[in-house]
């Protein structure tokens, strides 16, 4: 062994010993040596019997610390072992990251690793006492022993009902600050009681007591107590955490980079932020180089979960570039968190950088969880940015793991594939349909009952691709199923119901199942689709439609009988519609088109003029064309497919080709070429 290697080994040993001394040896240390200190990645696990003398009237307490954590493994096809995937929520992942990082040791409460064995009989004896008469010292001792009992007897635990009297009569107001904080440390094992009303009431009292006493702590103490409250209450809203975040978030310049990450983690728990998030964004941008990619991902979730977009485009690009640079180090949960924020904050200027990120991701597909991959493809679909290699890899992965995929994951994937207009003959669609059929009343029954809207959206996205599993559609169109979703309040229905209803009428004439009521169709039309006509004049879609309309009016030298109208009520973007005879002359059409209500499909029927061609110029603005190949997205392709069914000849006006026409004459020539050539072809048939 070389001298250099020997010295490095000594340094690693010295470092682990220092860590033990730093934390007073009260729990297992698992630390990865920091590359900044020049150490190679090295996992240090210590285990020893620890004992400590307590107060004279109490006995000595002993605990044996486990040597390491057991990881179940399974064999891969080639005979090697790999860890079984253990699903962690984003919050669990973030908190676990804090626990295992030395950078957060002062602001995170480590799990209790030292406890004595307390039998159920001894615990029941404590619970039978009158807790309202106990002294502070007796309360602390009792809570500690009950906590030890829960830790020791997880397989034979006492019924939570036995704790009701004790927690209801426990007077926390008479405890001094030190005793109250000490008790809170031992309350963490009781989090399994969170589904019981008595424990929730106790947590609320404890939370309010902390607000009264501990809002003037220093930053580290405040973050530590917030962490304790999180471990006690988990996903219950904490008033104390909310007040602390309001105080700390209003002066982010006083926070270190690590403290800022923790603040954003707690804001994630609050959901509704009590502060101006732009100040935190500015501070996070300043310290981005001090954070690892996984810390940045935890911070990103703080923005996403509070519904806050990244306003600074340069900062958003920096996040993407840092992700690209550290793809080898990023965790699966982290890539999911970052791509969710990217999707939520995406601007047109940042798309090229995002495209570079997508190009690099196919090789990492095996390393990320299916849920994270769905977040990635969902972000790509948001801006219609298609990467064939990535999509193909994700489809393969999804086909292999479809049985374990959440219903929400299926919905997001089908939405993305419908956006990219992926071939309806792809096996992924039949696999999804068969999975839903096989599990609707069995393994997914509870999931569908909890999220009925999600299942209906899946079928709505399939309809965009001209895929209609009518047996499943009949289920979601049934009045009883609609009631599950909205319970009489139809504002909860998604726009996919409108797409599904109208598409069935057009493309599945043999369908005999239930449809939506006409009044409900009108309501959905007003809610989701009529808003477009009242949008801002400066929008790109509006400008394209207005420009094409003016060109058509100049071409035909008239402002009448050229209508801007929605022929299909389940598409928001209106079309420019006119009628031509065999000599390419305009035929009056406004009167005929105006007789239909806005929620009706405008068919060309026997009342329409004869021996004419109905032309529909379909706008293809930004967002309705796939960016890599300029082909129509699924929604636009469905519209082009359905217009001929009701008697119109659709002609797509691509914004890309339109913007190449620099003069009014070029635009007139472009429209003339498209319209008259199409009309001549139809006349010759």
CB 347, CB 319: distance < 8 Å: no
Question: Span 601-611, mean pLDDT?
Answer: 82
- What integer pLDDT is reported at residue 531 of this predicted model? 57
Beta strand ranges found along 84-144 (DSSP E): none
Three-state DSSP string of 186-198 = HCHHHHHHCCCHH
Out of 7-16, 60-69, 72-81, least confident range: 60-69
pLDDT tier for residue 511 given thresholds of 50, 70 and 90: very high
Question: Span 372-396, mean pLDDT?
Answer: 96
- Residue 223 pLDDT greater than 80, yes or no: yes
Question: How many CB atoms are located within 10 Å of the residue 76 CB?
Answer: 9
pLDDT, tens digit, for every residue of 231-252? Answer: 998 878 899 999 999 999 988 9
- Residue 630 pLDDT greater than 80, yes or no: yes
- Residue 13 pLDDT greater than 80, yes or no: no
Tell me the CA distances in angstroms from 176 to 108, 214, 489, one per residue in order.
22, 12, 50
What are the beta bridge partners of residue 31? 44
All residues at 6 or more sequence positions from 282 whose CB lies less than 8 Å from its CB, including other chains = 252, 312
pLDDT, tens digit, for every residue of 315-350? Answer: 999 999 999 999 999 999 999 999 999 999 999 899
Question: Span 259-277, mean pLDDT?
Answer: 91
pLDDT, tens digit, for every residue of 564-595? Answer: 999 999 998 899 999 998 888 999 998 889 88
- Residue 608 pLDDT greater than 60, yes or no: yes
- Residue 502 pLDDT greater than 70, yes or no: yes
- What integer pLDDT is reported at residue 584 of this predicted model? 87
Question: Between residues 450 and 683, which one has the greater pLDDT?
Answer: 450
pLDDT, tens digit, for every residue of 128-145? Answer: 999 988 888 999 999 999
Share of the chain above pLDDT 90, in %: 62
All residues at 6 or more sequence positions from 473 whose CB lies less than 8 Å from its CB, including other chains = 459, 500, 504, 511, 513
Question: Between residues 63 and 610, which one has the greater pLDDT?
Answer: 610
What are the beta bridge partners of residue 614? 579
Question: How many CB atoms are located within 10 Å of the residue 382 CB?
Answer: 18
Q: What does the DSSP 8-state code read for residue 625?
A: B
All residues at 6 or more sequence positions from 634 whose CB lies less than 8 Å from its CB, including other chains = 417, 418, 419, 420, 421, 461, 464, 465
Burial of residue 368, with CB atoms counted within 10 A of its CB: 0-12 exposed, 13-18 middle, 19 or more buried:
buried
Q: What does the DSSP 8-state code read for residue 274?
A: S
- What integer pLDDT is reported at residue 532 of this predicted model? 53
Q: How far apart are CA 305 and CA 333, in angstroms?
A: 14
Question: Span 262-269, mean pLDDT?
Answer: 95
Question: Span 208-222, mean pLDDT?
Answer: 93
Tell me the CA distances in angstroms from 439 to 402, 429, 435, 446, one per residue in order.
12, 16, 6, 10
| SS3 state of residue 380 | helix
Nearest to 177 by CA among 133, 130, 138, 225: 225
Element (H, E) at 334: helix 332-345
Q: What are phi and psi of 633, to 5 degrees?
A: -70, 170
Find where tokens 């950088």 sit.
353
CB 620, CB 652: distance < 8 Å: yes
CB 521, CB 569: distance < 8 Å: yes
Alpha-helical (H) ranges within 133-256 are 136-152, 164-169, 177-186, 197-213, 219-233, 239-249
| Segments making up each domain of the chain, as ranges | 418-516, 532-684
Question: Span 75-95, mean pLDDT?
Answer: 58
- Residue 49 pLDDT greater than 80, yes or no: no
Question: Between residues 35 and 97, which one has the greater pLDDT?
Answer: 97
Question: Span 537-550, mean pLDDT?
Answer: 82
- Residue 521 pLDDT greater than 70, yes or no: yes
- Residue 358 pLDDT greater than 80, yes or no: yes
What are the beta bridge partners of residue 565? 575
Q: Is the dihedral of CA 76, 82, 85, 90 positive or negative?
A: negative
- What integer pLDDT is reported at residue 680 of this predicted model? 59
Find where tokens 């602001």 sit.
107
- Residue 676 pLDDT greater than 60, yes or no: yes
Secondary structure percentages of the chain, helix, strand, coil, to 5? 60, 5, 35
- What integer pLDDT is reported at residue 491 of this predicted model? 84
Find where tokens 């999911």 sit.
336
**Across the chain, what does the average pLDDT equal?**
84
Question: Span 303-321, mean pLDDT?
Answer: 95
């Amino acid at each position: 062994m070389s001298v250099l290697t020997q010295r490095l080994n000594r340094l690693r040993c010295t470092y682990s010993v220092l860590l033990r001394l730093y934390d007073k040896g009260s729990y297992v240390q698992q630390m990865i040596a920091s590359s900044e200190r020049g150490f190679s990645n090295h996992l240090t696990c210590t285990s020893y019997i620890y004992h400590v003398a307590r107060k004279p009237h109490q006995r000595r307490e002993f605990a044996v610390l486990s040597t390491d954590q057991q990881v179940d493994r399974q064999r891969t096809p080639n005979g090697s072992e790999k860890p079984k995937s253990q699903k962690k929520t984003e919050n669990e992942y973030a908190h676990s990251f804090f626990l295992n990082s030395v950078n957060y040791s002062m602001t995170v409460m480590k799990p209790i690793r030292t406890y004595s064995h307390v039998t159920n009989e001894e615990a029941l004896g404590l619970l039978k006492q009158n807790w309202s008469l106990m002294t502070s010292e007796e309360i602390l001792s009792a809570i500690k022993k009950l906590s030890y009992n829960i830790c020791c007897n997880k397989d034979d635990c006492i019924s939570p009902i036995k704790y009701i009297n004790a927690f209801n009569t426990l007077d926390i107001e008479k405890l001094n600050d030190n005793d109250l904080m000490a008790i809170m440390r031992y309350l963490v094992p009781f989090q399994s009681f969170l589904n019981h009303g008595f424990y929730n009431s106790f947590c609320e009292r404890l939370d309010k007591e902390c607000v009264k006493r501990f809002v003037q702590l220093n930053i580290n103490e405040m973050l530590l107590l917030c962490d304790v409250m999180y471990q006690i209450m988990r996903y219950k809203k904490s008033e104390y955490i909310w007040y602390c975040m309001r105080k700390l978030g209003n002066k982010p310049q006083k926070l270190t980079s690590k403290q800022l990450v923790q603040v954003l983690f707690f804001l994630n728990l609050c959901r509704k932020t009590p502060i101006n998030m732009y100040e935190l964004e500015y501070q996070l941008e300043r310290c981005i180089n001090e954070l690892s990619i996984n810390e940045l991902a935890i911070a990103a979730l703080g923005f996403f979960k509070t519904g806050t977009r990244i306003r600074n485009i340069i900062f958003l690009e920096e996040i993407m570039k840092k992700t690209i640079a550290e793809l080898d180090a990023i965790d699966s949960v982290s890539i999911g968190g970052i791509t969710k924020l990217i999707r939520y904050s995406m601007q047109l200027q940042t798309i090229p950088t995002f495209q570079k990120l997508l190009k690099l991701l196919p090789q990492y597909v095996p390393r990320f969880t299916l849920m994270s991959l769905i977040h990635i493809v969902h972000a790509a679909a948001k801006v219609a940015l298609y990467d064939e290699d990535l999509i193909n890899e994700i489809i393969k992965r999804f086909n292999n793991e479809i049985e374990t995929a959440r219903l929400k994951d299926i919905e997001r994937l089908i939405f993305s594939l419908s956006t990219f207009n992926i071939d309806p003959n792809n096996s992924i669609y039949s696999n999804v349909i068969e999975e839903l059929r096989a599990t609707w009343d069995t393994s997914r029954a509870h999931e569908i009952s909890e999220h009925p809207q999600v299942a209906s959206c899946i079928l709505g996205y399939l309809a965009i691709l001209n895929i209609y599993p009518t047996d499943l559609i009949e289920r979601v169109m049934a009045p009883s199923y609609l009631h599950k979703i909205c319970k009489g309040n139809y504002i909860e229905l998604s726009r996919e119901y409108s797409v599904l209803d109208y598409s069935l009428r057009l493309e599945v004439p043999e369908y005999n199942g239930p449809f939506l009521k006409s009044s409900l169709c009108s309501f959905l039309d007003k809610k989701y689709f009529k808003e477009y006509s009242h949008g801002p004049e400066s929008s790109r879609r509006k400008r394209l439609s207005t420009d094409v309309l003016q060109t058509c009016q100049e071409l035909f030298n008239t402002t009448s009988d050229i209508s801007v109208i929605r022929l299909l009520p389940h598409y928001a973007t209106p079309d420019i519609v006119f009628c031509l005879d065999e000599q390419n002359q305009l035929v009056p059409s406004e009167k005929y088109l105006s007789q239909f209500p806005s929620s009706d499909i405008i068919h060309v029927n026997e009342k329409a003029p004869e021996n004419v061609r109905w032309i529909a110029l379909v706008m293809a603005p930004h967002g309705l064309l796939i960016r890599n190949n300029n082909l129509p997205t699924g929604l636009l392709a469905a519209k082009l497919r359905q217009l001929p069914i009701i008697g119109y000849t659709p002609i797509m006006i691509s914004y890309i080709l339109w913007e190449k026409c620099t003069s009014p004459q070029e635009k007139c020539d472009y429209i003339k070429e498209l319209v008259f050539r199409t009309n001549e072809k139809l006349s010759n048939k």
